[in-house]
Amino acid sequence: MRPEAPMSQVFSEETHRNLLARIPHCTGREVSDWLRTVDEGPALGFEEKVTWLRHEHNLAYGHAKAIIHEYDLRRAARKLL
């Protein structure tokens, strides 16, 4: 079971996985590239990061939320180690 990131549960696990799987096809970039972009981007809250990705990188709302949610999940998992 994956750790939950606080305040960033946005989709069911299945919907989240499906969105992540489509991101490379829809954006031309791997999810790992997007996660690096978020990590190097401005320090913002969840919704502000979603808005930043949408406006700065022309992402669809669902894809931006899925990327930020995945980023938060992975960051929370690193804190548990």
Cβ partners under 8 Å of residue 60, min gap 6? 26, 54
pLDDT digits (tens, 9 = 90+) for 3-26: 444 444 567 899 999 999 999 999
Angstrom distance (rounded) from CA 60 to CA 76? 24
Q: What is the pLDDT of residue 80?
A: 77
**Torsion sign (Cα): 63, 64, 66, 70:** positive
Distances (CA, A) of 60 to 1, 24, 70: 28, 13, 15
Specify the DSSP element, H or E, that contains 23.
helix 13-27
pLDDT digits (tens, 9 = 90+) for 21-61: 999 999 999 999 999 999 999 999 999 999 999 999 999 99
